[in-house]
Structure 1
Amino acid sequence: MTFADTTGKLARPALSVELTDRVRELIMEGELKEGHKVPERYLTERFGVSRTPLREAIKVLAHEGFVVLVPNRGAVVAPQSLDEIEEILPIVGALEGLAGELAAQHASDADIRNISRLTDRLREAFEARDRPTYFQINQSIHAAIIQAAGNPALLRNHATFARRIYRARYQANLSESRWKEATEEHEKIAEALAARDAKGLGELLREHLSHKMRSIRSALK
C-alpha cells in the first residue's frame, strides 16, 4: 500500500484492520498532528465507512500508543516522549540482537529465503522512494527474524515493547541519508543470516537499532 492509497474508499473485507492501517499511516506521515483530535466525521467520509469500524480502529491505535482516549473529548493523536523511546529502544535492540543470534542457528532454509526476498523488495521500495511500503517490508523483516528465532517468550516480549515505538521507528528513516544507510544495513543483516553467522548477525541488529535511536533523537528534538 502506498500513501496515495490512503485517500480511497475501503473494501468491506477486513475493514477494521485495513482502516487501522490507513489511520496509522496518516499519523505517521504527520497528516494527523500530535495533540489534535482525530477527525472522525472527516475520516468516515474520506474512507466511505461508518463510525463503528473507525472506532474499532481507534481502539487498536490507542492500544498501540498512537492515540489517547480523552474523556469528553474523544481520541487525540498521542505525543511522542523521547524519554520513553530512549528507555524502550535499547531493550528492543537487545531482544532483536538475541533473536538474530538464535535465528542464525535455528532458521529454516525457507525462513532465510523469505528474508532474502523481503530484503530485495526493501531495496526496490527504497529505489522507488515508497516510504510506507518500505516501512511495512522493514517491519516484516524484523518480525520474520524474531519468528525464526523459535523462542515464544522472546516473541511475546519483543511484541510488547516494539509496539510502543512503532511510530518512532517509522520516523527514523525520514532523512534521506539514514534511509539509504538503513537499507544497506538490512542487506548486511540478510547476508549474515544466510551465512548463519550468529555473532555477526546479533551485532548487526544491535548496531542497526543503535543507529535508529540516533536518527529518532534527531527527528524528535
Structure 2
Amino acid sequence: MEPSAPKPAKRGRPPKVRLSKREPLAHQAAAHLRDLIIRGEMVPGSRIPERELSERIKVSRTPLREALKLLERDGLIEILQNRGARVISFTVEEARELFEVIAGMESLAAQLAAQRITDDELAQLERLHAQMLEHYRNRDKDPYFDVNSRIHDLVVDLSGNGILRSTHADLMLRARRGRYMAIMKPARWSQSVAEHEGLMEALRARDPEAARRVWQLHLNHTGETVCAVLQEQAVETTAG
C-alpha cells in the first residue's frame, strides 16, 4: 500500500520537561538530555551548558552531573577533566557498523515475531502503525519519530527473545540519534513508511521470511541514509 501524500513538513518542537517523583532525578534528567541529543538540539561536538540545563529542567547541579555520567556510559557524551562535558560526534564509520548490526538483529526479531505474534499483539501493532501513518500525512516529525521508535521496539519485544531485547536496547542508545537523522530526508521518509507497510503485510500473513527480508532492507536503507547525512555534514563543516 502506497502512503498517502503528506502535507508540508511541520517544524518539530522539543518535548516538555515533566519530572516524576517516582524516578530518581538523575535518571529523568538523563532521559531528557538524551532526547535533546537524539533530536539534534544538542549538536555533536558542542559543549554541554550545565548551569543553563540545570535551570531549564529544574534540577540541581548534583543530579544533573549524575545524569551526565549516565550519558557518558551510554556513549553519547564525554566528560573532560576541568573542561566540562561535550556531545560525542557520530562518525560515518560508526553509523555503518552500528546499522549493520542493528539490521541483522531487527530482521531476526521480525522473523521471530512473525512466527510468534498473537492476534492481540498484531492489533497493538496495527494501532501504532495507523498512528504513525497519520503523523506522516500531517508531517508531524517528532510524534512520528516517537511512534516509529515504539514500533521498532515492540517488534523486538514480540520476538520473545530476552537476549535480543537487552542487546538491542543497549545499541539503540546510540542508533536512535541516527534514525532521527534519516527522517530529515523526504524521499527516505516516504520510502520508510512503505517499508513499514511491507512489514505489516508480512506479519498479517504470518510470513517469517517476508518479515525478515523487508525489515533487513528497511534497516539497511536507514543506515545508508544516516551515512549519507553524516557525509554531507562533514563536507559542509570542511567547506565552512
The answer for the alignment partner of 1:51 in structure 2 is 61
Partner Cα distance (1:195, 1:69) in 2: 49
AA paired with 2:222?
A: K
> Of the two structures, which has the highest relative contact order with CA contacts closer than 8 Å and spacing of 6 or more?
2
Partner Cα distance (1:9, 1:217) in 2: 31
More helix by percentage: 1
The answer for the alignment partner of 1:146 in structure 2 is 156
Indicate if the aligned counterparts of 1:69 and 1:76 stay in contact, CA closer than 8 A.
yes
Indicate if the aligned counterparts of 1:24 and 1:61 stay in contact, CA closer than 8 A.
yes
Q: How do 1:169-180 residues align onto structure 2 when only pairs under 5 Å count?
A: 169-180=179-190
Aligned counterpart in structure 2 of residue 4 of structure 1, from 7, 13, 24: 13
Offset of 1:111 from its aligned partner?
A: 1.4
Identity among equivalent pairs (%): 34
Partner Cα distance (2:204, 2:66) in 1: 40
The answer for the alignment partner of 2:106 in structure 1 is 96
Q: What TM-score do you get using the length of structure 1 for normalisation?
A: 0.89
Indicate if the aligned counterparts of 1:169 and 1:212 stay in contact, CA closer than 8 A.
yes
AA paired with 2:165?
A: L
Partner Cα distance (2:59, 2:170) in 1: 30
Offset of 1:164 from its aligned partner?
A: 2.8
Partner Cα distance (2:158, 2:127) in 1: 15
The answer for the alignment partner of 1:208 in structure 2 is 218
Q: Secondary structure at the match of 1:4?
A: coil
User: CA-to-partner distance for each residue in 1:74-107, whole Å, 9 max, x for gaps?
Assistant: 2211101211221121111111111111111111
- Unaligned 5+ residue runs, structure 1? none
Q: Secondary structure at the match of 1:68?
A: strand
Q: Flag the 1:60–1:132 CA change in 2: closer, same or farther, 3 A.
A: farther
Q: What TM-score do you get using the length of structure 2 for normalisation?
A: 0.83
The answer for the alignment partner of 2:236 in structure 1 is none
The answer for the alignment partner of 1:219 in structure 2 is 229
Indicate if the aligned counterparts of 1:66 and 1:167 stay in contact, CA closer than 8 A.
no
Q: Secondary structure at the match of 2:188?
A: helix
Aligned counterpart in structure 1 of residue 121 of structure 2, from 102, 111, 120: 111
Q: Secondary structure at the match of 1:33?
A: coil
Offset of 1:145 from its aligned partner?
A: 0.8
User: CA-to-partner distance for each residue in 1:8-36, whole Å, 9 max, x for gaps?
Assistant: 55444345444333322322333322212
Matched residues, number: 219
Aligned-residue Cα RMSD (Å) equals 2.1
Q: How do 1:126-165 residues align onto structure 2 when only pairs under 5 Å count?
A: 126-165=136-175
